[in-house]
Amino acid sequence: MAVNAKTLNETEFFYGHKACAGCGGSLAVRIALKVLGENSFAVLPAGCMSAVGFNFPQLCFGNNAIISTFAGTASMLTGVEAGLRAQGITDFHAVGFAGDGGTADIGLQALSGAIDRNDDILYICYDNEAYMNTGIQKSSLTPFGARTTTTPAGKNIHGNLRPKKNMFEIVAAHGIPYAATASVGYLNDFMRKVEKAKSIKGTKYIHILAPCPTGWGIKTNETVEAAKEVVDCGLWYLAEYENGEFTLNHRPKEFSSVESYLKKQSRFRHLTDNDIEIITASRDKKWEYINKNFR
Amino acid sequence: MKPFLREKVPSGIDDIPNVTAYEAGYLVTKNSGWRNFRPVIDTQKCVGCLSCYLHCPDGVIFRKDGKVAIDYDFCKGCGICEKICRPGAIVMEAEK
């Protein structure tokens, strides 16, 4: 049976945490753990979710959870999985929750190694598009034009100069058994992907876009809306990689306005018409590629 | 297991574990003080679609009698539930 709000495990495993109000990352972690259930062993590197989940003595995970080194999410998952296997435990899910910096910058090598070994782990990257925990510094998953504290917007330079790293396809290029993208604006799609990953042996990777009201400059109640809109305007997409093939899961009939998506967020408010044209053109180029190569 | 509030708050040096492990789901503080507005559910209007329950980042909305209720001890008042509620059964009321 498909997982949805009605069939979802009613137990909360991530509760009482100190994330900012309206946090997209904590929503992703909460829902993933509800799908995975009690027997999940979570690994969290330095990042928002470990900072808000483990404030001793306020410990907000109801399942087994541990903090790893910043770079070592995937390698610790490897160890957790091997340790459980050595103890003869078979009914478990080793799951990692790392942010965009902990995945695409700092933890990339360990993740690449784990995929190479095809360890039986699930790696979830909650992508809030900057190092939000330490005060909004640019990561390699920060999109073009975004203002962060290390890519300020001035008269000559309008925020981040570089495009968002294509983490999903980098992971897929390893020939991983299962990889997917998701968004907290489309939770049914995300739950289906976590459910699917549960049943697959080998390394699984899910990249979920999770807006951050604090870093993006949106209201706390706009998180889910922003995560929907980014998919609807084509700047993010819901796809899967399996058996060497890419599948697109959601095709917007018509893209909504990129400008309207960007201008709602204070990190993009400085963008000129020319900047928005660059972003729209890169979106169109990306979709040309998707239409050609994704099923 | 759902994390829950404990009576004992580790404070002295003897209470602090000498290994890097502790009991899971050990809560000692509430988050209710973060809130300026509280979501209030009109159970007459609620159709039990569970959209608010699904989208709450803090998981404070729980299922009750075919509808939903809120754990105000941990609600931070972000307002996502109000925004996502199609029948308009949730209103945000200022905390006094």
Give pLDDT tens digits for A230-247.
Answer: 999 999 999 999 999 999
Q: Nearest chain B Cα to A186, which residue?
A: B55
DSSP A131: B
> CA–CA separation, B71 vs B91, rounded Å?
16
Q: Which residue has the tokens 């504290």?
A: A149
Over residues A258-274, the pLDDT tens digits come to: 999 999 999 999 999 99
How many percent of chain A have pLDDT more than 70? 100
Specify whether the CB–CB gap between A11 and B1 falls below 8 A: yes
| Res A32 pLDDT > 90 | yes
Between chains, do B28 and A57 touch, taking CB under 8 Å as contact? yes
| Res A295 pLDDT > 80 | yes
> CA–CA separation, A195 vs B17, rounded Å?
36
Over residues A60-70, the pLDDT tens digits come to: 999 999 999 99
Between chains, do A30 and B59 touch, taking CB under 8 Å as contact? yes
Domain coordinates of chain A in residue numbers? 24-293
Q: Does A11 touch chain B (CB under 8 A)?
A: yes
> Nearest-CA distance from B43 to chain A in Å?
18
Q: Does A96 touch chain B (CB under 8 A)?
A: no
Specify whether the CB–CB gap between A48 and A204 falls below 8 A: no
Q: What is the pLDDT of residue A5?
A: 93
| Res A2 pLDDT > 80 | yes
The set of residues, in sequence order, having a beta carbon less than 8 Å from that of A111 and lying 6+ positions away, is A73, A74, A103, A123, A171, A205
Q: Which of A62, A64, A221 sits opposite B79 (nearest CB)?
A: A221
Q: What is the pLDDT of residue B18?
A: 87
> CA–CA separation, B42 vs B36, rounded Å?
19
> Nearest-CA distance from A13 to chain B in Å?
5
> Nearest-CA distance from A270 to chain B in Å?
26
Between chains, do A62 and B2 touch, taking CB under 8 Å as contact? yes
Mean pLDDT of chain A: 96
How many percent of chain A have pLDDT more than 90? 99
What is A24-293's CATH number? 3.40.50.970
Q: Does A59 touch chain B (CB under 8 A)?
A: yes
> CA–CA separation, A208 vs A229, rounded Å?
14
Measured between beta carbons, the chain B residues lying within 8 angstroms of A63 are 1, 24
**CATH top-level class of B4-94:** alpha beta
Q: Does B64 touch chain A (CB under 8 A)?
A: no
pLDDT in tens, chain B (96 residues): 999 999 999 988 898 888 889 999 999 999 999 999 999 999 999 999 999 999 999 999 999 999 999 999 999 999 999 999 999 999 999 998
Q: Does A31 touch chain B (CB under 8 A)?
A: yes
Over residues A188-234, the pLDDT tens digits come to: 999 999 999 999 999 999 999 999 999 999 999 999 999 999 999 99
Over residues A138-186, the pLDDT tens digits come to: 999 999 999 999 999 999 999 999 999 999 999 999 999 999 999 999 9
Q: Residue A1: pLDDT band by 50, 70, 90 thresholds?
A: low
Q: Does A12 touch chain B (CB under 8 A)?
A: yes
The pLDDT of A45-52, averaged and rounded, is 96
Residue in A172, A146, A36 with CA at minimum distance from that of residue A97:
A36
> Nearest-CA distance from A199 to chain B in Å?
22
At residue B15, what is the residue type?
D
Ramachandran region, residue A152 (left: φ > 0; alpha: ψ -120 to 50; beta: rest): beta
Q: Nearest chain B Cα to A4, which residue?
A: B54
